Structure 1
Amino acid sequence: MQVITSTEMAALDANCEYYGLARTQLMENAGASLANIIKQKFPQGTPVTIFAGKGSNGGDAFVAARHLTGYNVQVFLLGRGDEIKTAGARWNFSILKKAGTSIIEITDSTQIPEPDNDCVIIDAIFGTGIKGRLRPLESTAIDRINNCASEVVSVDVPSGLDPDTGDFEKAVRSNLTVTFHKPKPALLRQELKTYTGELITAPIGIPLFFERLIGKGDLERLATRKPESHKGDAGSMLIIGGGPYSGAPALCAMAALRCGVDLVHIAAPESVSDIIASFSPNLITAALTDNHLNENDIPLLKKMIPDADVVVIGMGLGKHPETQSALQEIIPLCKKAVIDADGLYALDFQQKNYSNIIITPHSYEFNRITELKTPENLNTRMQVVTGFAEASNTTILLKGKTDVIAKGSMVKINTTGTSSMTVGGTGDVLAGITAALFTTNDALLSACCAAFISGRAGEICHQKYGSGLTATDIIECIPEACNP
C-alpha cells in the first residue's frame, strides 16, 4: 500500500493551492468525508463530542460538525477561537458559531470534562503537524478520551502519534482512524493497532497527477539559512568548466550565487580563466594549465575538490579525449556532483556508482549517454527515465518542455518555463541552481526545485522581455522565482 509522509503531505497541500486547488476546498472535502463515515457507522441522533485543536486537523472536524445534521454535536476547542492557526480552520469555526453549534473554548486543563460513555468522540487535537512535547491541555484531553468507554474516531492520525515514525509520548487509543488521501507510514504498523484501530483512507479530491507536479510546497522543504550562519554554511561549490566556451561556467556560477550559495570557485583552462573572471568581481577563478582540461590539471583539482560541497562539471569543457580521460579520474573524487553538457560523456554507467550525482541532460544527450530514446508521450518518457534512474542509481533531471526528474522509483515533473528559454546558456543557469541547492539538500529535492525555479525565473523574464530574454536576465529573476 502506498503511503505519504507528513512532509510530503504538507508539500502536496501547498502545491495543490499553487495550482488552484484551495486548501479550504481540501478541508471541506476532508470534513465531509469524515462526516459521511460517521453517518455510515453510527445512527442519527448519536451524541458526538469533538475535541479539536487549533490547526487544520481541528478545521476538518469543524467541517464535519457542520455536516452532521441530526447528531447532537458538542465541540470542545482546546484554546481560544482567536488562536486558531489556519485561515480555513478559522473560517469554518466562525461558521459553526454562527450556526449555533454548541462550542466551549477551553484554556485550562481543569476545564476539560469527562465525556459521556454513550457518545462518539472525534479526536481532532493533532494531525500530521505534531511537534515537540505535549502541553498540559492536550495531554489532559488525551487522558480524558482514553479513560472513556466511548467509540473514538481519530482524524487523519490518532493525536499524539508521530505520523511518520510512530513515536509518541502519549497518544489517543482510537477505534477508527479516518486518514486522508493516503495512509501515513505509522498507521500501517501492526504494533500500533491499539492506537489506530480500524483504518479508513478517505479521498479528498487531490488528483494523483498533482503528486507528480513540482510546486511551491517543494520549495518550502528546502534548507533555510540560519541567523547564526557563518561563511560557507550555505554551501561551497567548485565549477570545472570552460575551454572552447568561456561564458558557460560564468553563467553557472552567477546563477548559483543568486540562489544563495556562499562560495563558488571556477577551475577553467588558462586560456579563458581571466575572461571568466572579468564577467563579474563575484567570480573566483583558478587557472588550469592549458587551453583544455587534461591530466596535468588533476593535482590542482585534487586539492580543490575536498573543499567543495558540490562540484559542477561539464559546461564549456569540450569533448577533447584528454579532457574526457581527466574527468573520469576526477568525478569519483567528488562528495557530490552535478554533471552537465560535455561532462556527461565521461560517465560510465556500467562500471561506476553515481548515487551522489545529479545529471542534467536534454533528450539528445540522454539518448547519447544511455542509448535510450525519450518518447514524446509523457507517461512513457517518465517510465524510461525512472527505469534508467533505478538501474544506474543516479538522479536524473531530463530537460525539456516538461522536465522529468527521477531518483530510484521516484519521479516528478516540472511544467514551469517558456519557449523563450531555448536561448543559449539556460542549461548552464539550471546547472548552477541545481548545484547551489544540492550543497544543503538531497539530490531529488534539489533537482526538482532547481527545475521549478529555473522555469519560473524564465516565465518572469518572459513577461518583461518576451522572446528576447537572455540567460543573464533569468539569473536576475532567480530570487523572485524562489518565492512564488
Structure 2
Amino acid sequence: MSTTTTIPNCLYRAQDVRQGEQQLAAIYDIDLYQLMERAGKAVFELMLKSYPDAKQILVCCGSGNNGGDGYVVARLAQQYGLSVIVWEKECGHQTSDAARARQLWLATTGTTTLLAPQSIDKIDVIVDGLIGTGLSVTVNDEISQRILWINASQCPVIAIDVPSGLCADTGAILGVAVNAAMTVSFIGFKQGLATGQAAQYCGQRYFTDLEVGELFSPLVTASAWHIDATEITTLLPPRSRVAHKGDNGRVVCLGGDHGTFGAIRLCAEACCRTGAGLTAVITQADSALSIVTARPEIMALGWHDDTECLQQKLAWATVAVIGPGLGQSEWSQRLYLAASQNNLPCVVDADGLNLLATMPMVNSLRILTPHPGEAARLLNISIAEIEADRFAAVKLLQQSYGGVVILKGAGTIIYDGEHIFVCTAGNPGMATGGMGDVLSGIIAALIAQGLSLSQAARTGVWIHSKAADLCAQSGERGMLAADLFPFIRQLVNPR
C-alpha cells in the first residue's frame, strides 16, 4: 500500500469523498469493507516504518468507519506480534463495516475496553480512530475527555483520516482535538487538513488513494486545489534576449505615513526583486528621501494633496499597491480616496483594507490580501467566525468586494470567484512585521509582468511562502521580511 507525503493537488469536502466511495461501490462493484482493510493496512505499515521499536500500541476506536479502520490496525498489529489495547466507546450505532472489522478483531482473541488504560508508561504509539471526517459539531464530553487523555499521555499519535476534533472541511477545532504526530488521509485529501489549525494538530500529513484514485477522481469534483508549484515555471518563462524595462511593467506603491514608511519601502523592493521593470513610491514628503537613499532603484515622490500629479503617476503605472504603512490619518484617507478613483489593477493590503472596510466598494480589478483580523473588519464579524470556516469566509469576502481575495494565515486561501487555491508552504517564522508588505509587492510585480490577477495571487503567495521556507533553513525565529529577497529572486528565475 503506497502511503506518501506527496499531497495531491485536489482537495475535497468529506461528504464528497463519502459520496464518491458510494459511487465507486455502485459503478465498479467495489466492496467498501475492502477499502477499510486497505486503510487499516496503510496505517499499520506507516506505524511500523515510523516506530519500528514499538512494542505496545493503543488503538482508540469510535463507532464510525475510521473506528473500523482502527480495528483493522489492531488485528494486523496483534498478528505481527505487538501487544495491543483497543479502547473503544459504546458501539451501539456502529456502521456495518465497522461492526465487521470489530468482529474480526474479537475473533482473533482480541479484547476491548471502555476504560482508559492504566499503564500509560508502557504504551509506545496511539492510533486515533475516535471520530473521523463526519464531525460538524463540538465533540461531546465523553470524547472530549478521551482526547484530553490522549494528549496528556504525550505518546506519538497516528490519526486515521483526520485528528479527532478537527473538522475535515474547515480545519477548525470543534472543542478539543487530538494533537497527532502524523495523519493519514484516504482516497481524496480533505480540504480541512490544508488550512486553519491543521498544521498544529495533523503533524506530518500522509496520503494514500487505497488503489482507487484513478477511478475516484473522474467521479468527484474537487472543492479546492493546492497551488501547483510546476505552474510557476510556465508563468515565468525566461525573458526575451532583447527585453527592456518597459516590457516588465511599472508599479506604483502608495503608503508610508509618518513612522511606517518602512512598510512601503519593503513593498517596493519586493516589486523590484520580483522583476518589475520600474517601481515608484508615493509617500509622505519627509519619507521619500529615506526610501531613495536606502534603495536608489526605487523612484519616490512625496505627496501632499496634488491630485493631478497622483493621477499622472497612476496613468503611468501598470498596477498599483495601496496600503502598506498607509495609516488611517486624514492624509491616509485623502490618498486612499484619490488612488481609488481609477480603473488600474491594484493590490490592497494593510490599512488600505481597513479604509476599504469603512468605505465598502466592489472592484473586479483588485486583489485583497487580508489576514484574519482585517477580514473580520471587512465582513464586520469576529476573527473567531473567520477562523471557524476560512473557506466560507474567503468566498464571502470575494462576493462582497469582488476581484481576487487572499485570506492569509496557516494554509493561505485564494479565491478568484471561481476556484479556490490553498498554499501549505510557509512557516511560523513569517509571523513578523513586514511580511505582508513583501507579499503585496511580489503580487504587484507579477501583474506588471503580465500575469492575470488569479495567476499573480496564487503565484505570489507560493513564491512568498516558499522563499520563507528556504530562508528558515537558517532558523525560523529571528527571520526578517527583508531576508526573503535573495530567495524571491531565486524563485522567480526557475531553471
- Over 3 Å counting, the alpha-carbon distance change for 1:414 and 1:209 in structure 2 is farther
Query: Could you tell me which of 337, 352, 361 is aligned with 2:361?
Result: 352
Question: C-alpha displacement at 1:221, in angstroms?
Answer: 4.0
1:444 and 2:454 aligned: yes
1:461 and 2:471 aligned: yes
In 2: Cα distance, 1:410 partner to 1:452 partner: 16
In 2: Cα distance, 1:283 partner to 1:409 partner: 36
Q: Give secondary structure in 2 for the equivalent of 1:466.
A: coil
Q: Give secondary structure in 1 for the equivalent of 2:248.
A: coil
Query: Could you tell me which of 442, 446, 457 is aligned with 1:433?
Result: 442
Deviations 1:63-118 (A, max 9, x none): xxxxxxxxxxxxxxxxxxxxxxxxxxxxxxxxxxxxxxxxxxxxxxxxxxxxxxxx
In 1: Cα distance, 2:5 partner to 2:277 partner: 29
1:310 and 2:319 aligned: yes
Q: Contact 1:324–1:345 (CA<8 Å) still a contact in 2?
A: no
Q: Contact 1:354–1:394 (CA<8 Å) still a contact in 2?
A: yes
Q: Which amino acid aligns with 1:275?
A: S
- Over 3 Å counting, the alpha-carbon distance change for 1:452 and 1:249 in structure 2 is same
Deviations 1:169-201 (A, max 9, x none): xxxxxxxxxxxx9xxxxxxxxxxxxxxxxxxx9
Q: Contact 1:328–1:347 (CA<8 Å) still a contact in 2?
A: no
Q: Contact 2:425–2:465 (CA<8 Å) still a contact in 1?
A: yes
- Matching residue of 1:35: none
Return 5+ residue gaps in structure 1 as ranges. 1-16, 23-39, 41-180, 182-200, 290-295
1:405 and 2:414 aligned: yes
Question: C-alpha displacement at 1:202, in angstroms?
Answer: 6.0
Q: Contact 1:310–1:334 (CA<8 Å) still a contact in 2?
A: no
- Matching residue of 2:230: 217
- Over 3 Å counting, the alpha-carbon distance change for 1:417 and 1:208 in structure 2 is farther
Query: Could you tell me which of 253, 261, 268 is aligned with 2:283?
Result: 268
Q: Which amino acid aligns with 2:327?
A: G
Query: Could you tell me which of 467, 472, 475 is aligned with 2:482?
Result: 472
In 2: Cα distance, 1:317 partner to 1:234 partner: 26
Matches within 5 A, 1:60-459: 203=215, 212-224=225-237, 225-244=239-258, 245-289=260-304, 296-347=305-356, 352-373=361-382, 380-439=389-448, 440-459=450-469
Q: Which amino acid aligns with 1:457?
A: A
Question: C-alpha displacement at 1:299, in angstroms?
Answer: 2.1
In 1: Cα distance, 2:387 partner to 2:6 partner: 19
Question: C-alpha displacement at 1:371, in angstroms?
Answer: 1.1
Q: Which amino acid aligns with 1:242?
A: G
In 1: Cα distance, 2:291 partner to 2:281 partner: 9
Q: Give secondary structure in 2 for the equivalent of 1:265.
A: strand
Question: C-alpha displacement at 1:384, in angstroms?
Answer: 2.0
Query: Which moved further from structure 2: 242-251 or 300-309?
Result: 242-251
- Over 3 Å counting, the alpha-carbon distance change for 1:233 and 1:369 in structure 2 is same
- Over 3 Å counting, the alpha-carbon distance change for 1:374 and 1:226 in structure 2 is farther
- Over 3 Å counting, the alpha-carbon distance change for 1:358 and 1:333 in structure 2 is same
Which one scores higher on RCO, CA 8 angstroms, separation ≥ 6? 2
Question: C-alpha displacement at 1:222, in angstroms?
Answer: 1.7
Deviations 1:443-468 (A, max 9, x none): 11111111111010001111024312
Q: Contact 2:360–2:401 (CA<8 Å) still a contact in 1?
A: no
In 1: Cα distance, 2:404 partner to 2:418 partner: 10
Q: Contact 1:257–1:436 (CA<8 Å) still a contact in 2?
A: yes
In 2: Cα distance, 1:384 partner to 1:349 partner: 18
In 2: Cα distance, 1:203 partner to 1:336 partner: 42
Q: Contact 2:323–2:348 (CA<8 Å) still a contact in 1?
A: yes
Question: C-alpha displacement at 1:361, in angstroms?
Answer: 1.1
Q: TM-score, length-normalised on structure 2?
A: 0.53
In 2: Cα distance, 1:233 partner to 1:384 partner: 37
In 2: Cα distance, 1:208 partner to 1:415 partner: 21
Q: Contact 2:413–2:422 (CA<8 Å) still a contact in 1?
A: yes
- Over 3 Å counting, the alpha-carbon distance change for 1:348 and 1:426 in structure 2 is closer
CA RMSD of aligned residues (A): 3.1
In 1: Cα distance, 2:401 partner to 2:386 partner: 23
Higher CA-based Rg? 1
In 2: Cα distance, 1:239 partner to 1:21 partner: 37
Q: Contact 2:378–2:397 (CA<8 Å) still a contact in 1?
A: no
Question: C-alpha displacement at 1:418, in angstroms?
Answer: 0.7
- Over 3 Å counting, the alpha-carbon distance change for 1:323 and 1:258 in structure 2 is same
Return 5+ residue gaps in structure 2 as ranges. 10-27, 29-187, 189-212
Q: Which amino acid aligns with 2:232?
A: L
Q: Contact 2:375–2:386 (CA<8 Å) still a contact in 1?
A: no
